[in-house]
Structure 1
Amino acid sequence: MTTPSETLRIADAAGILAAVPHQLRFHPSESIVVVLATDDRWLATARVDLPPLDASSLTVFDFADAVAEKVCEVPTMTRVFIAAYSDRKDAGPLVAEVKRAFDDRDCRVVDMWLVTDDAWFTLSCFHDECDEGYCEFAAAKSLEQLELHEAHLHSIVRGSSPSHEPVLPSPRVVWQRKDAIRRHAAQFAQQGVFDFERAEVLLLWLEYQELPLMTSLVRLQERPEVVGRLLASLLDIEVRDALMASFLVTAGTVQHFASQMPRAIKNDCAYLDAMATTSALGNGIPVWDRLDRCAELAQELMSAADGRELTILFSILSWVEWMRGRGSSALACAEKARAMDPEYSLAQLMVDVVMHGYQPRWVTDPELAWRS
């Protein structure tokens, strides 16, 4: 579930459908998309895969109820718009069933649409001849209408360029002294991280997170031993988990947070593997600017990483995307990590988290959620 970075006004059907790919950052396919709104303001966008055609264990009723239940957790939502993106023959009935699930929860569905590879259709029924819960006689409308809509063109001008599927993060920086980085990383990996070093290593990560990305990269280019140490430290599960939990600690307590290692945090780091959705340190809200800077740094470190280090970076970025509410991107990162190293438990954990529909509590609160 993604939240707009700016105030979006609900205008017309074509405008909503034109804006959806820009909100998701990719063109949805084989999906149900729900736009959450209050009055005329766009609150959030939720996307879920259509159930497989042979999903014998999942009924259409169960699927629709699961979608509505998740979306209705947003307290400020007053109405929704539903769109199916598919050429499947059962797409219309699926939309109608999702509408039924929202109706059962007293949530107003304003409009429903179907978007295929060739056209788009309004499924809302405005006459008495529809017996299936959706309009079976809807006229096809040109996709060009969406491509030429102001909502799409405005987003393009602002630099938005949706892909055809979730895009994996990739580095842009070239590490000039990569051989030295790999040599230092191998040395630190062989030594391991001693208990008394964990606080120091975490503070080293936090030091570079607090700097603007370009400043960090310029300094790290001249310090291959630091880059090697940062990468090798991720092999230590307690450092990895503490780094991921640090996003949930306010700036005023981050130094105290690091000072608790290794004693207080050491026994709590397993919270990730226990599938908790908030930090073992408390029910915090992510510090979004720190999380964003860490994600940027992790992405750029990929071109210096090797082997399991790269698997860990993809897993951490999956965790970041999950906390942001971008389940599709989180799953893409997690599946990439799992493909690289099927034995790495965090990668498998993140796949399970996303596939089972778990989401952090702040995702359903537009005032707390990350803004794209």
Structure 2
Amino acid sequence: MTTSPETHSLNRPEDVLAYIPHALGFQPRNSLVMLILERNALSATLRVDLPLLGPGADDTRIAARHYLGILRKVQEATAVFLAVYPPECADPHPGPLPYSGLVAELGDRLRGAGIQVRDAWLVGPESWYSYHCQGPGCCPEAGHPVPELALTETHLRLVVAGSAPTHEPWDGSGAPAWVNRGQIRDHLELMLARFAGPQRHELLLRRWGDLLAQDPAAAERRMRSDAVFCASLLATLHEKPVRDMLPFLAGHGLRPAVCALAETTADATPGAAAALFSGFLLGHSELAPDWRRLDGFWYLLRDLLGVAAGADEAALLCLLAWIEWARGRGSSALALLGGCLAKEPGYRLAVLLRQLLEQGEMPDWVADKDRAWHPEAMPAASA
């Protein structure tokens, strides 16, 4: 679920359908997308996989009940737009639209819960149709052309703002290699052989804290220009207590992270700092994450993929996945975890995070517009 800024005017179906890939970051397929409104303001965008429906009505009822349960997490929801992106490659033939039964069942349940269905559409590769059409005066037999969505003001405005949806969720591949990659990895091997151990955990954590205190562009220049410093950042990813602490460091600051690290690595019973840390990682926090620092952290992690390999690359992909999950972009998080496990099968953190996502867990703050992440244009990856 992606929480949306309230500056988008979505008065026409074309504007809504043009907005969806930008909200998700990719073009959905085999998906049901729900744009959730609080009164007349767009609140969040939720994407779920379409169900495998059998010939009977039970599967449809079960799926609709499940979707309603997810949407209820946005407690102030008053209305919703529905968009179905079928898995088939071809546009539908004349006749009843695919998933009509699911849309009708879900619509009935939403209205029963006091949530208005503003409109619902089927979106194929070339054409889109409204499920609410009452005759040929609404949707032509061949549907409305999808390519024209790229000409809407909504799409063009978002492109100018820096949004560039991809065809598939990014799996972490394609990062360009740094010119000094070999030098950095040589330093990393020496560090892992000589300096690993708990005595260095706080030092490594503080190095990340110093980096995150800088502007992301300045921090990137430091990483790229200082091979020894960059190697120490990668070494951090091989120390599991520090690796796991990094999202908390970015989201809540250095001092709470240092306290939590001390409590989680000590023999004594963990205290309040450790509890705050573990709750934050599982998405349970009354405080709003520091999204400016987390966005900067994501930017640096993405850049480090150009020098990473093996276990440190797997750790980077997991951390990127956690941030995407924290943002409410579960599909993007799963794609990154899939990319991680394709390269490092059985990597424990990726397995655990994927289980968390597949259970449908979402952070508490995702459904709270005051604490949730709001999409902004991110810096382009460095060449």
TM-score between both structures, scaled by the size of structure 1: 0.86
How big is the shift at 1:15?
Answer: 1.4
1:313 to 1:38, Cα distance in 2 relative to 1, 3 A? same
What does 1:193-272 correspond to in 2, within 5 Å?
193-249=196-252, 251=253, 254-264=254-264
Tell me the CA shift for residue 171 of structure 1: 7.3
**Letter of the 1:292 counterpart:** D
Quick check: 1:79–1:108 contact (8 Å CA) kept in 2? yes
Q: CA shift at 1:125, angstroms? A: 5.6
Q: How many residues align?
A: 359
Pair 1:272–1:308, CA change in 2 (3 A): farther
Query: What is aligned with 2:381?
Result: none
| Distance (whole Å) between structure 2 residues aligned to residue 369 and residue 71 of structure 1 | 16
Which sits farther off after the overlay, 39-48 or 200-209?
39-48
Aligned pairs (5 A) from 1:271-350? 277-278=282-283, 283-350=286-353
Q: Deviations over 1:286-316 (max 9, x none)?
A: 2111111111111111111111110110011
2:108 corresponding residue in structure 1: 100
1:91-115 deviation digits (Å, cap 9, x = unpaired):
2222222212312322111111111
CA contact (8 A) 1:302 1:313 kept: yes
Q: Secondary structure at the match of 1:304?
A: coil
Query: Per-residue CA shift, 1:241-275, capped at 9, x if unaligned?
Result: 111222342x4xx3253145333455767999999
The answer as to 2:145 corresponding to 1:142 is yes
2:42 matched to 1:39?
A: no
For the 8 Å contact 1:196–1:262, the answer to whether it is kept is: no
Unaligned runs of 5+ residues in structure 2 are 376-383
Q: Which whole-Å deviations, capped at 9, do the CAs of 1:205-246 have from their partners, x for residues lacking one? A: 111111122212222333211111111221111011111222
Distance 1:64-1:137 versus aligned 2 partners, 3 A rule: farther
CA contact (8 A) 1:36 1:45 kept: yes
CA shift in 2, pair 1:257/1:354, >3 Å: closer
Specify the alignment match of 1:124 in structure 2. Answer: 132
* Percent identity over paired residues: 30
Q: 1:67 corresponds to which letter in structure 2?
A: Y
Are 1:78 and 2:81 an aligned pair? no
Give the Cα–Cα distance (whole angstroms) in 1 for the partners of residues 107 and 371 of structure 2.
27
- 122, 127, 150: which is aligned to 1:114? 122
Q: Is the 8 A contact 2:248 2:257 kept in 1?
A: no
Residue 3 of structure 2 aligns to a residue whose secondary structure is coil
Name the counterpart of 2:184.
181
Query: Aligned partners of 2:261, 2:164: CA distance in 1, in Å?
Result: 42
Which residue in the other structure is 1:132 paired with? none
CA contact (8 A) 1:121 1:138 kept: no
Q: Which residue of 2 aligns with 1:353?
A: 356
How far has the Cα of 1:137 moved from its partner?
10
1:130-159 CA-partner distances (Å, limit 9, x unpaired) = xxxxx9998722224423322222223333
Q: CA RMSD in A?
A: 3.0
Which sections of structure 1, spanning at least 5 residues, go unmatched? Answer: 128-134
Contact 1:210–1:293 (CA under 8 A) maintained in structure 2: no
Q: Do the aligned partners of 1:170 and 1:299 also contact (CA within 8 Å) in 2?
A: no
How far did 1:175 drift? 3.3
- Aligned partner letter, 2:346: E
One-letter code of the match for 2:17? L
CA distance in 1, matches of 2:11, 2:366: 24
> Aligned equivalents of 2:256 and 2:156: distance in 1?
48
